[in-house]
Amino acid sequence: MGSPRLLYLAPLAVFAIVAAAAAYYLSSGRDPRLLPSALIDKPAPEFTAQGLSVAGKPLARGFSSAFFENRITVLNFFASWCAPCLVEHPQITALSKVRGVTLVGINYKNKPDEAAAWLARHGNPYARIGVDPTGDLAPEFGLYGVPETFLIGPRGRIRLKHVGPITVPVLKDKFLPAIQALKQ
């Protein structure tokens, strides 16, 4: 049997190992907000999303992956219950006004009436809105959660993925330059 004093040192040893691993990761220069996507430079997954409707009344047309052909598209997964979605909404609206870009949304795991009320209250910047009420489409895109936004080039290939809310710096430093590069 080991010494009781060694038993008291075990938590300290575990802490030292965790601290060393954290220090190594933080000093590696990797940005922990950058989550890799296996979909970059690959065709967008094939899907068909029904349009947003409330009580049988269509509010927005749905779309399929074929919609991405021959256009630059920003695809945004959002929900009314998502606080970061509200934070990014002004930037999403700004993206909808970029000439030569079509903004579409996927309303994720959301009640249609709540989504419609949220869009009525905050504005609807989307050209089309598909719905993913059960989250079946999300794994096809490798979603971690909402909001997540994809830039899809005119050949239907995913060029950029952003996890989390789009902030003003992300819009200016990441999305707008990538859109400009696709236009050339």
Tell me how far apart the alpha carbons of residues 144 and 121 are, in angstroms, rounded to a whole number. 26
Give me 112's structure tokens: 């249609």
Give me 183's structure tokens: 């236009």
Cα-to-chain-centroid distance, residue 134: 17
Output the pLDDT for position 32.
Answer: 47
Helical H runs in the chain? Answer: 4-27, 83-96, 112-122, 168-170, 176-183
Output the pLDDT for position 10.
Answer: 63
What would the mean pLDDT of 42-55 be, rounded to a whole number?
93
Give the predicted TM-score (pTM) of the model: 0.80
Specify whether the CB–CB gap between 147 and 84 falls below 8 A.
yes
pLDDT greater than 90 at residue 7 = no
- Taking only the tens place, the pLDDT of each residue in 113-157 is 999 999 999 999 999 999 999 999 999 999 988 999 999 999 999
In sequence order, what are the residues at sequence separation of 6 or more whose Cβ sits closer than 8 angstroms to the Cβ of residue 139? none
Mean pLDDT score of the chain:
87
Query: Could you tell me the pLDDT band of residue 38, with boundaries at 50, 70 and 90?
Result: confident
Output the pLDDT for position 56.
Answer: 81
pLDDT greater than 60 at residue 28 = no
For a pLDDT cut of 70, what percent of the chain falls above it? 80
Q: Write down the domain spans for the chain.
A: 1-30, 48-183
CATH number for the segment(s) 48-183: 3.40.30.10
- Taking only the tens place, the pLDDT of each residue in 86-96 is 999 999 999 99
* pLDDT top residue among 181 and 33: 181
